[in-house]
Amino acid sequence: MKLLVLAAFIALCAGHVIPDVPGDESRFVEDDNRYVWMADDEGNQVLVDTQEPIDYEFIARNGANNQYWLFTRQNPTNRQVITNGNVNSIRNSNYRGNRPTKVIVHGWRNSGTTEMNPLITSAFLAVQDCNVIVVDWSRLASNINYNTAAAGVPSVGQFLGNFLVWLFNNGGGNWNQLHLVGFSLGAHVVGVAGRTAGGRPGRVTGLDPAGPGWPNNGNRLSRNAGRYVEAIHTNGRDLGIMNPSGDADFYPNGGRRQPGCGSTSCSHGRANEFFAASVRNNHLAGLRCADIREAENNNCRGSRFNMGNAIVGKSGSGLYAMTTRAAWPF
Distance CA 96, CA 273 (A): 28
Distance CA 182, CA 185 (A): 8
How does DSSP classify residue 20?
Answer: P
Contact criterion met (CB below 8 Å) for 43 and 20: no
How does DSSP classify residue 22?
Answer: P
At residue 74, φ and ψ (nearest 5 deg) are -80, -25
Rg of the chain (C-alpha set):
19
**Among this protein's residues, is 208 annotated catalytic?**
yes
Contact criterion met (CB below 8 Å) for 234 and 255: yes
Angle at 5 between CA 3 and CA 8, to 5 degrees: 110
The answer for residues whose C-beta is within 8 angstroms of residue 296's C-beta and 6 or more apart is 236, 242, 251, 254, 255, 256, 321
Annotated active-site residue in 136, 179, 188, 208: 208
Q: Which CATH superfamily is domain 61-322 in?
A: Alpha/Beta hydrolase fold, catalytic domain (3.40.50.1820)
**Among this protein's residues, is 26 annotated catalytic?**
no
Contact criterion met (CB below 8 Å) for 275 and 243: no
Other CB atoms within 10 A of residue 193 CB: 30
Give the ranges where 288-327 is alpha helix by DSSP (H): 292-296
Distance CA 94, CA 113 (A): 20
**Among this protein's residues, is 184 annotated catalytic?**
yes
Classified as helix, coil or strand, 96 is coil
Domain ranges for the chain, please list them: 61-322
Contact criterion met (CB below 8 Å) for 163 and 84: yes
Annotated active-site residue in 184, 222, 263, 278: 184
0.75 surpassed by pTM: yes
- What pLDDT tens digit does each residue of the chain (330 aa) get? 334 433 443 333 333 444 455 544 445 544 456 887 877 666 678 888 888 999 888 887 679 999 999 999 999 999 999 999 999 999 999 999 999 999 999 999 999 999 999 999 999 999 999 999 999 999 999 888 999 999 999 999 999 999 999 999 999 999 999 999 999 999 999 999 999 999 999 999 999 999 999 999 999 999 999 999 999 999 999 999 999 999 999 999 999 999 999 888 999 999 999 999 999 999 999 999 999 999 999 999 999 999 999 999 999 999 999 999 999 999
Annotated active-site residue in 106, 179, 233, 268: 268
